[in-house]
Amino acid sequence: MPGKVLIAHADQKTAGRLKNDLVREGCTTLSASDLEQVRPLLHQQPELLLLDTKLATTASAEQLSALGSELELAEVLCLRLGREDIDFQQARTLTPWACGTIAAPNASEQALEQISILLRVKQAEKERDLAQGRLLLHQREVAEGLRSAAQIQRTLLPNRYPDCKAFSFAWQFLPCETVGGDLFNVHALADNTLMVYMLDVSGHGVSSAMVTVSVNQSLSDRTSHLVKQPTDQPPFYRIATPAEVLTALDREYPYERFEKFFTISYLLLEPESGRVHYCNGGHPPPILVRQDGKLELLEAGGTLVGLGGLLPYEEGEVLLQPGDRLYLYSDGITEYAAPSGEMYGRQRLMDFLCRQQQVSLDEVSSSFIKTLKNFGEEHPPDDDISLFCIQFNTPVKSRRACGRKAKPAQ
pLDDT at position 123 is 86
Cα separation, 301 vs 167, whole angstroms: 24
Cα separation, 188 vs 235, whole angstroms: 15
Residue 404 has pLDDT above 60, yes or no: no
Q: Which of 134-138, 221-225, 274-278 has the highest mean pLDDT?
A: 274-278
DSSP string, 131-182: HHHHHHHHHHHHHHHHHHHHHHHHHTS-SEEEE-TTEEEEEEEE--SS---E
- pLDDT tens track for 211-222: 888 898 899 877
Nearest to 24 by CA among 117, 112, 124: 112
**How many angstroms separate the most distant Cα atoms in the chain?**
110
DSSP string, 262-294: EEEEEEEE-TTT-EEEEEEEBSPPPEEE-TTS-
**What's the pTM?**
0.69
pLDDT at position 178 is 63
Per-residue exposure over 86-104, b if at least 16 CB sit within 10 Å of its own CB, e if not: beeeebeebbeebeebbee
Instruction: Provide mean pLDDT across the span 311-329.
Output: 95
Q: Which of 67-71, 189-193, 249-253, 388-392 has the highest mean pLDDT?
A: 388-392
Q: Which residue has the higher pLDDT, 291 or 234?
A: 291
At residue 106 the predicted structure's pLDDT band, cuts being 50, 70 and 90, is: low
At residue 295 the predicted structure's pLDDT band, cuts being 50, 70 and 90, is: very high
- pLDDT tens track for 353-387: 999 988 999 999 999 999 999 999 988 888 889 99
Cα separation, 101 vs 120, whole angstroms: 17
At residue 44 the predicted structure's pLDDT band, cuts being 50, 70 and 90, is: very high
Structural contact between residues 191 and 401, judged by C-beta atoms closer than 8 angstroms: yes
Which three-class secondary structure state does DSSP give residue 396? coil
Instruction: Provide mean pLDDT across the span 243-252.
Output: 94
Strand partners, 390: 169, 326
Strand partners, 3: 27
Structural contact between residues 265 and 304, judged by C-beta atoms closer than 8 angstroms: no
- pLDDT tens track for 171-213: 999 887 666 678 999 999 988 899 999 999 987 777 777 888 8
CA angle 352, 381, 262 (to 5 degrees): 90
Cα separation, 106 vs 14, whole angstroms: 7
Average pLDDT of the chain to the nearest whole number: 88
Which three-class secondary structure state does DSSP give residue 3? strand
At residue 107 the predicted structure's pLDDT band, cuts being 50, 70 and 90, is: low
Q: Give all domains of the chain, ordered by start, each with its CATH number.
A: 3-129 (3.40.50.2300), 156-408 (3.60.40.10)
pLDDT at position 180 is 65
- pLDDT tens track for 82-103: 887 888 888 889 999 998 888 7
